[in-house]
Each structure stands twice: as structure tokens, then as C-alpha cells.
Structure 1
Amino acid sequence: MSANSRLTTAAHALAWIGLYQRQGHEVATSEQIATSANTNPVVIRRLLGELRRAGLVESRRGAGAGWSLARELGSITLLDVYEAVEPGPLFAMHRTTPDQGCVVGHGIQPAMRGIYQDIEETLRHELARVTLEKVLRDVLAAPRQPL
């Protein structure tokens, strides 16, 4: 099972747009952001569409088209980003109902449900504590590795 990178890529895009705007630019293109994230612009456009629906970015069409922040980085938390790009629970139950005649099959979902709820509550609490402003500060403070 591979890890999901949508939250990381969305945070990357927002931090990039925030820095780009601080440098005096009004809008950023999905191609520019995709170059930084080393991914396809379509991936970035899809994520930005979800972030737009959540009110975190705005888009401009036509001449001068691109993306801009709808809010300051200091008012956007990683929880805001997570909720925009990761709908649904972090963990899921079986795709089909386990054998209810089996002691483990009968009890596994109730046992795991409580554990998962606690984990998700902790995750949400921690994500709510971190703003994109802090993420950008940490990015800018990180030592650069030689290529």
C-alpha cells in the first residue's frame, strides 16, 4: 500500500503561491507550480480546484490567468488543506462485511472503529495547530542540498 501525497502536494502548491505573491506576482500558473512539485500540471489543477471549492485559492481566467491565495498563509491551517483534499475518513473498514459467525470477523470492526476515531481526532488536532505560514517559514529555513 503506498502513501498518499495529496496533502503534501497541496501544501506545496499553497506555499509556492504564497511565496510567489510575496515576490510581487499576482497569480501563479499550474505549470509553474507543477515544475516546483515535479509533477504534471493536471495534478496541480485538480488539487487547486479542490482548494478553490474550499475557499483557499482563487482562479483567474483569460489574459493573466492563474491562481492566487484567497486567504493569507497565516490563516490557512494544514487541517483546512487536509479537509479540502482528503474527504472521508483516514482509515476504512473492510470493503465487504467480515464473517459475523467468526469471533474475529464479528468484533474487528467495532474494535478498530474506536482506535481509528482516536487517531483521526489526534491528527486533526495536530494539523489544526500548523499554519501554511509556518510551513513556508520552515521551507525557507531548510538547508539546501547540493544537486
Structure 2
Amino acid sequence: MSANSKLTIATHALAWMALNERMGGKFTTSEQIGKSVATNPVVIRRLMSEMAKSGLIETQRGPGAGWRLARAPEDITLWDINEALGAEAAFALHRNEPSESCPVARGIRPALTPVYARVDDAIRRELAGTHLADVLRDTLTVSGA
């Protein structure tokens, strides 16, 4: 299984928008973000649609079209972005009912459910404690910009 990179791409896009705005840009286009992310602008537009529906960004149509952050980078957490993307649990129990005749099958769900709940809580806490401004600061520090 491969990991989902939507959160990374969306965070990259919003951090790029924050930097663009810091440098005086008004709106950001999918083409600009797509070049930075090295992905098709259509992918960016889909993600930005989700960000706009959640109220993280504002959209401008027509001349000078694009997006801008609806809130300051200090007020957007990675959990906000993850929720905008339709946050899902990190792990899931199997869909089929396990065999009642097997002792492992009878106990696997009750054994794993609290573990998975703790993992989800830890993810939520970590993402909620990290702001877009933190990511942009750390990104610029690492890149030497």
C-alpha cells in the first residue's frame, strides 16, 4: 500500500500561497502551484476546490483569477487542512465479520480498536499543533531561503 500524499500536496500548495502573499502577490494560480509541486494544475484545482469549500482559501474568478488564503497561516493547522481533505482514520478494521469459531477472530476487533483510537488521537494532536506558518518557516529554513 502506498501512503496518501494529498495532505502533503495541499500543505505545499497553501505554504506556497502564504509565501506568495508575503511577497506581495494577491492571488495564486494552479499553474504557479503546479510548477512548485511538480504536478498537473488540474490536481491542484481539485485540491483547491476542497480547500475553498472548507473556508481555508478564497477564490477569485475572471481577470487575475486565483486563490488566496482566507485566514493567516498562523491560524491554519495541518488538522484543518486534513479535515478539508476528508480526514480518515489511519487504520481500519477488516470489513468482514471475523469467524466466531476462532479465538483470535473473536478478540481482534476489541484488542485493536483502542490502539487505533490512540493512534488517531496522536495524529490529530500532532496535526492540530502544527500551523501552516510553522511549516513555511521550517521549509524556508531547510531550503536556506
Task: Mark yes or no: TM-score above 0.5.
Answer: yes
Answering whether residue 32 of structure 2 is matched by residue 49 of structure 1, we say no
1:91 CA drift (Å): 1.3
Identity across the alignment (%): 50
Instruction: Write the deviation string for residues 46-69 of structure 1: whole angstroms up to 9, x where unpaired.
Output: 111111111111111111110110
Indicate conservation of the 8 Å contact 1:7/1:86, yes or no.
no
Instruction: Write the deviation string for residues 108-143 of structure 1: whole angstroms up to 9, x where unpaired.
Output: 112111100001111111111111101000011114
What TM-score does the superposition give when structure 1 sets the normalisation length?
0.92
| Structure 1, gaps ≥5 residues long | none
Equivalent residue, structure 1, for 2:2: 2
1:95 CA drift (Å): 2.5
Equivalent residue, structure 1, for 2:109: 109
Number of residue-to-residue matches in the alignment: 144
- Within a 5 Å distance, the mapping from 1:75-114 to structure 2 comes to 75-114=75-114
Point out 4+ residue stretches in structure 1 off by more than 3 angstroms. none
* Counterparts of 1:30 and 1:99, CA distance in 2: 50
Indicate conservation of the 8 Å contact 1:6/1:86, yes or no.
no
* Counterparts of 1:137 and 1:94, CA distance in 2: 40
Give secondary structure in 2 for the equivalent of 1:130.
coil
| Structure 2, gaps ≥5 residues long | none
Q: Which amino acid aligns with 2:105?
A: G
* Counterparts of 1:62 and 1:110, CA distance in 2: 54
